[in-house]
Structure 1
Amino acid sequence: MQQAGVPARIEVVEVGPSDGLRHERTAIAAPDRVELVERALAAGLRRIEVAAFDADSREPERVLAALPRRDGVRYLALVLDGTGLDRAAAAGVDEVNVVVAATDGFADRERGSSTGQDLARWADLAARAHRGGPRPVATIAVAFGCPVEGEVSAEHVAEVARRIADAGPAEIVLADTAGAGVPTQVVRLLERVREEAPGVPVRCHFHNTRNTGYANAATAFLEGVAALDASIGGIGGSATRPGFGGTIATEDLAYLLTGMGVHTGLDADELAATGTWLGERLHREVPAMLGRTR
């Protein structure tokens, strides 16, 4: 039953086939990646991050060539530079995601860059995408706390969002890369970002490192975000930092939202079965909890 004061629906963006699998120790071959996307579609997901064009491997092209094309389905990909953008466009990607680190320390450790350099790269890629390429989306990494520099103020993240908004993003994603955020922080950060980037849809990406991911997701939803990221099985995190939790699990998020009377269009049982299937291929039990109750 729909509860008073609760939004009627939310879009869930599946990031497991890309962001999730790229941080797993066990490599998953292209056919299994394609099957994962097909299972996600069967469970009702319609916006799926399927690839990362961040290396010379041609696997993203092989995966995208094998994916079904359906009305209402959008495929997303991570890109790091102009070459990646060109490859993504040629492969038929609908949206490209460009990451901007909120702190210089994280940008330097991950890519040998700085926040300023990330912003310049975003502006260049967004301009190119606006000239007939895929829709450009910007993700602000470590927006809720940084493993290198510690706390990150809402004011600083809002200023980064303002500079991102200058280049016309289709969406801004606030990512809790370290899983450090709490619900009150979610409220404050959304408030400040909306002030500095009015009219730009906001999506949130939460990790469950400290068991706050689902509380943060529910808070962001109640605060009216356009969409939430999730990963089937709750896979992801960081292969080089084993203590970092994965992205919140799609099946667990679907269960939570459905219980709140929210329309997601997702089949939680089908998602849970897919999480179990994925764990078998990764040779480990996935973090998601719903599949353990079935």
Structure 2
Amino acid sequence: MVKIVEVGLRDGLQNESTFIPTEIKVECIQGLIAAGLKHLEVTSFVHPKWIPSLRDADKLVTSLPRVHEVSYRALVPNRRGLERALAADIDEVAVFLSASETHNKKNINQSIADSLTSMQEVTALAISAKKKVRGYVSTVFGCPYEGKVSHRQVIEICERLLSYGVYEISLGDTIGVATPKQVKQMLRSLGEYVPMRTLAGHFHDTHGTALANSYVALEEGISTLDSSFGGLGGCPYAPGAAGNMATEDLIYMLEGNGVSTGVNLSNLCAVSVKLQEWLQKPLPSRVLHHYVAAAKR
């Protein structure tokens, strides 16, 4: 079975200008759980001025339904964010940095070295509080400023994160430029130094390659993939880009190839339809479009 990490409520909504009320987010979460998703990244404990759409992080986490085998995760940028996450009693936390120096400085306002130092502290504190820690590495397959990112850079960052106690590292194709060949080459390089079971794929669909990249990642031994219901999300460095890989499209591909996901596709689409109504715009998932069209016949 492939583990799907649903990131729409964090990675997706952080790109939306419309603030979704906490109560609606909770309804979406309940629907996603009912559809069979068990790993949900629900928010980010960043300062509200940076991501206004996630300003209700504390309220949201304390409002979440506690369901057996369902794990909630939140992104934390620093020690202060971790303290808020722990106060809200989140199940897991996620730390993040970029694989390219320029993107990291523009995105986090730190060098990679400084980010790693901060992540080591945050990870240690989280583990001491008995919380699991996931790591995100952005721009693994390409940087909007530097272009190609070296395999050695990615390998060294992943090795450092694992040494800190991070249990899983999500490899981000942040601007959606990766191709299947690139994914295969990167994973084979990483596989010589890092256990494949500790890696996950996080592909954006800017150039329509997210599903193909995910399929190749599975062939190379990855068993965890990130996706966003409805295809929520976007890329600030590629205006008009589709953004995150849609969970519906991923489920359709996997189940059609005999790979079990434990997710009910119709129930999942129903959640995305409700959110479309709140956002007052169609979401990019191709499978969702088909579901909506079929419902009108």
**Are 1:142 and 2:133 matched, yes or no?**
no
Higher share in helix = 2
**Does the 8 Å contact 1:89/1:133 carry over to 2?**
no
Say whether residues 1:110 and 2:107 are aligned partners: yes
Match of 2:85 in 1: 88
200 and 256 in structure 1: CA distance in 2 versus 1, 3 angstrom threshold? closer
Give RMSD over aligned pairs: 1.6
Task: Give secondary structure in 1 for the equivalent of 2:192.
Answer: helix
Q: Is the partner of 1:137 in helix, strand or coil?
A: strand
Matched, 1:18 2:15: no
- 2:36 is aligned to 44
Residue 62 in 1 paired to residue 54 in 2?
no
* Structure 2 segments unaligned to the other structure (5+ residues): 49-53, 292-297
1:187–1:196: structure 2 CA closer, same or farther, 3 Å change rule?
A: same
Which residue does the alignment assign to 2:250?
Answer: 253
| Distance in 1 (alpha carbons) for counterparts of 2:278 and 2:213 | 29
Change (3 A) 1:201 1:240: closer
8 Å CA contact 1:158–1:196 kept in 2: the answer is yes
Which residue does the alignment assign to 1:171? 168
Displacement of 1:177 after TM fit? 0.5
Deviating more after overlay: 34-43 vs 150-159 = 150-159
Contact 1:234/1:248, CA 8 A, preserved across alignment: yes
Q: CA 1:93 to 1:24, structure 2 compared with 1: closer, same or farther past 3 Å?
A: same
For residues 200 and 225 of structure 1, what CA distance do their matches in structure 2 show?
A: 7
| Aligned: 1:292 with 2:289 | yes
> Equivalents in 2 of 1:186, 1:41: separation in Å?
30
Task: Give the superposition deviation at 1:132.
Answer: 2.1
* Structure 1 residue 114: Cα displacement: 1.5
Residue 3 of structure 1 aligns with which residue?
none
What letter matches 1:12 in structure 2?
I
- Once residues 239 and 112 of structure 1 are traced to their aligned partners in structure 2, the CA distance between those partners, rounded to angstroms, is 16
Which of 112-121 and 53-62 deviates more? 53-62
* Unmatched 5+ stretches in structure 1: 1-8
Alignment of 1:66-215 (within 5 A): 66-198=63-195, 201-215=198-212
Q: Does 1:32 align with 2:24?
A: yes
One-letter code aligned to 1:248: M
CA 1:86 to 1:117, structure 2 compared with 1: closer, same or farther past 3 Å? same
Does residue 219 (structure 1) correspond to residue 233 (structure 2)? The answer is no
CA distance in 2, matches of 1:148, 1:224: 30
Question: Partner of 1:205: helix, strand, or coil?
Answer: strand
Q: TM-score, normalised by structure 2?
A: 0.92
Residues of 2 paired with 1:205 and 1:130: CA distance? 24
* Rounded Cα–Cα distance in structure 2 between residues aligned with 1:133 and 1:20: 28
Supply the distance in 1 between the matched residues of 2:169 and 2:215 (Cα, whole angstroms).
Answer: 18
Give identity over the alignment, percent.
37
The answer on whether the counterparts of 2:174 and 2:203 sit within 8 Å (CA) in structure 1 is yes
Q: What do the CA deviations read for 1:109-159 (whole angstroms, capped 9, x no partner)?
A: 112112112111111111111212421111110101011111112222112
Counterparts in 2 of 1:199 and 1:242: CA distance versus 1, 3 Å: closer
TM-aligned CA deviation for residue 199 of structure 1: 6.6
Give, in angstroms, the shift of residue 213 of structure 1. Answer: 0.5
TM-score (norm: length of structure 1): 0.93
Counterpart AA for 2:46: D
Structure 1 CA distance for aligned equivalents of residues 45 and 231 of structure 2: 22
Are the equivalent residues in 2 in contact too, given 1:139–1:174 (CA < 8 A)?
Answer: yes
Equivalent-residue separation in structure 2 for 1:245 and 1:149 (angstroms): 22
Residue matched to 1:283: 280
Query: Match for 1:89: what amino acid?
Result: L
Contact 1:161 1:196 in 2 (8 A): no
Distance 1:282 1:141 in 2: 27
- The runs of at least 4 aligned residues of structure 1 exceeding 6 Å deviation read none
Q: Secondary structure at the match of 1:50?
A: strand
